[in-house]
Amino acid sequence: MKKTVRLVSTLVIITSAAWLTGCTGKPATKEAPKAMAAQVDPAVIAEGKAIATSRKKGNCLACHMIDDGSSPGNIGPPLLGMKARYPDKTKLRAQIWDATVANPESAMVPFGRLQVLTEAEIDKVVEYIWSL
């Protein structure tokens, strides 16, 4: 009986995960998924992390919980599973550049519009955040 319950529980978890991620087991297109299309240089991700966690630059930790960050805030959503939340990396970049475009009530700093970060810094932060 315990093995049957365990098997059913496992199947429910797998089915739920597949439903939540839209996984059907079949490729949606014949093209490679965007998330797997190009590998990003780990040095760029490290630079993005340094910017994102810097109190003088991105300061993402002031509002967001990041898995390996210390003293996170809880004003914004946790930055976890970002590839699933933003399959299109350009939408994540747009959110970081100016979140008020998608949500005029957003409390998030419009890092690009207010030139808090340079375009190159935003690109690096996007790579880091998308890697989470």
Q: Is 79 helix (H, G, I), strand (E, B) or coil?
A: strand
Distance CA 12, CA 6 (A): 10
Token output for 73 = 């805030």
Residue written as token pair 């599973």? 81
Convert the pLDDT of each residue in 49-73 to its tens digit: 999 999 898 899 899 999 877 788 8
Calculate helix-pair angle for 119-131, 42-53, nearest 10 degrees.
Answer: 100
Which pLDDT score is estimated for 68?
78
Q: What is the pLDDT of residues 69-126, one digit of tens each?
A: 778 888 899 999 999 999 999 999 999 999 999 999 999 999 999 999 999 999 999 9
Give the model's pLDDT for residue 20.
Answer: 42
Total residue length of the chain: 132
Residue 64 burial (C-beta neighbours within 10 Å; 0-12, 13-18, 19+): buried
Q: Are 4 and 11 in contact (CB under 8 A)?
A: no
Q: Please check the confidence at residue 9 and state whether its pLDDT lies above 80.
A: no
